[in-house]
A and B are shown apart, each in its own frame.
Chain A
Amino acid sequence: MLTTKGKAPIVSRQMLVFFAILLSYPLWADAAGLYEYLGIEIVIFIIYALGFNLLLGYTGLPSFGHGAYFGVGAYGYGLAQLYLDAGFIPGLLLAMLAGTVASGLVALFLSHRRGIYFALMTIAFGQVFWFLAIKLRGLTGGEDGLLNIFRPDIDFGLFQISLKSNFAFYYAVALIAVLVTLLLWRLVHSPFGMAIQAVRMNETRARFVGYQVWWIKWTVFTLSGAIAGLAGGLLNVAQESAFPDTMSLHASGLIVMMVLIGGGFVSFWGPVVGVIVYYLARDLLGSITEAWLLWYGLLFMAVMMFSPEGFAGGWGKLVAWVRRRKQGEVLMGGAQND
């Protein structure tokens, strides 16, 4: 299971590799048969999945309605542009605020629950938000969604950066992803990170060594909702619109699948792997067959059956096996030399 071990550097080696791939993507995407907009989607969902894994992988709280906060962020950003002409950065801050408020309110009801009751209530609340997004037509545009939210420029006072091109917007999203990664990495290696893992391992014991477990659960859920809101706001910028589909049970299930298939339960980087696998499956399998989701589902089932800890877990086992084998060879060599 997911436990932070040993001293945690501010920037780890894996993180440097991730940042290098992230920041160089537009340079090689074309040659690899990929494209910039795919990169934007992947990075947005990486932000979403990393925040979601704080809840699922680290704290052990399964939310099957997290699409609600993602969607609330998307609508929050859109409404901020339509009614307040808020601009890029204030719009994203408002998207985060919308995700924070929505998830914070829901967490008040959830943080005293656990197990199946917690999971079912996340679904119920998720459905409430989805239903509201469809029914509040005056505010959300109903099933048609919130349209015509054009990408603004980033205004730095002395100069402006246009986000009209996918290249520029990709880098804006990638920089936000770097910040979110650094923040979450630090958080899971801090005393708070240790406490949330303790809550996952044994809620009763955590209470009896003095942790206010409901407050910890509330904080993690709200923080995760805030990051989902931020990611939702970015998706709105990417799509120049917001749709209720992002809040559906199906969409909420997808983020759970991405985190699980990647190995969110055993690695900080599991969600990153899971998002990449999903989008590559969508594009590569999707170019072959319309039934790509069926094949992705089968892939998910196979991974859960043969490597329940996802790709990251499988990779970890492989590395451990290679190490054992090497050690065995060294010992055998030593014995032969003796």
Chain B
Amino acid sequence: MTESPPLFVAEHLHKRFGDQVVLEDINLSFNAGSISGIMGPNGAGKSTCFNVLTGMYRPDGGSVFFDGEDVTGLAPERIVEKGISRSFQIMNLFDEFTALENIMVATNRVRHGLHRPFWDIRADSEISHKAAEVLAMVGLTGLENSLASDMSYGQRRALEIAVSLATEPRIVFLDEPTQGLGADGRANLADLIGTLQEKFTLVIIEHDMQFLFRLANRISVIHWGQIIAEGTPDELKANEWVRTSELGKMTTC
């Protein structure tokens, strides 16, 4: 049996800001249905890498392919149309909307219905029902009518993920989803990500190595803007460079 090609591939990505080289010859591939991790110390270039992969920055060199299609340098709104979505490390929500409205406004139906002046979205039970399902997916049932700004930090984290799921993506990039969460919050998030794996391909940037080692099928380590190691969690734990680096200390504690 032949192995299916990766869903998402980045080849020879380069990115520089002025004289500063931030990404150098980055090669990544993510298989459909997998959880992939990207880790590395602060300032390693992880977030820039995410920003290049999801359309926030145009790479100075290299290519990005999604399901065989070249999506290099496409604007975020076009990237989303292809089935790629992301969450942010610093939460980006529509704070004055309720949780349900945050999801509704992110759905493809609403986005494609801008030319329908007589369509009252809030009175559309089908779209409310679908939005409630997305909230249920991240454990926010019962909070549909809460303003995003009134929700707790953990709930907002979950809503941030829900908004990225509302666009009906095939691959979801999660940027440091455990940021600011306590032990219970991390455990809940790990359970949530486990359930999301059944429906989506996930890519996670994470500082919390234990979190990533527990969830990811494959991890890439970025340092000084380059991929310096790659493999399964077990392979990485045995990797000489990772073991002797600060990252290695984090994995054993």
Contacts and interface: CB of A to CB of B under 8 A. Distances in A.
Interface of A: 1, 3, 5-8, 186-187, 189-192, 194-195, 197-198, 201-202, 204-213
A5 B96 CA distance: 10
Contacts of A204: 88, 92
B173 to A, nearest CB: 10
Contact of B120 (A7, A206, A211): A7
12 contacts: A1-B96, A186-B117, A186-B118, A191-B110, A191-B111, A191-B116, A198-B97, A205-B163, A208-B86, A211-B77, A211-B111, A212-B77
Interface centre among B88, B118, B120 (most CB of A within 10 A): B120
B93 interface: yes
Interface in B98-118: 101, 104-106, 108, 110-111, 113-118
A210 B118 contact: no
Interface centre among B81, B108, B110 (most CB of A within 10 A): B110
Given A186-B118, A190-B119, A195-B105, A207 B94 contact: no
Contact of A7 (B88, B97, B116, B123): B123
B96 A192 contact: no
A191 B163 CA distance: 17
A194 B101 contact: yes
Q: Shortest 9 CB-CB distances between A and B: which pairs?
A: A210-B80, A209-B106, A205-B92, A190-B117, A201-B94, A7-B123, A191-B113, A207-B76, A192-B114
A190 B116 contact: yes
Contacts of B88: 204-205, 208
A189 B108 CA distance: 18
Nearest to A9: B120
Contacts of A209: 80, 85, 105-106, 111, 163-164, 166-167
Nearest to A6: B122
Given A194-B101, A198-B97, A201-B94, A207 B114 contact: no
A308 to B, nearest CB: 16
Contacts of A201: 94-97
Nearest to B95: A201
B228 interface: no
A189 B95 contact: no
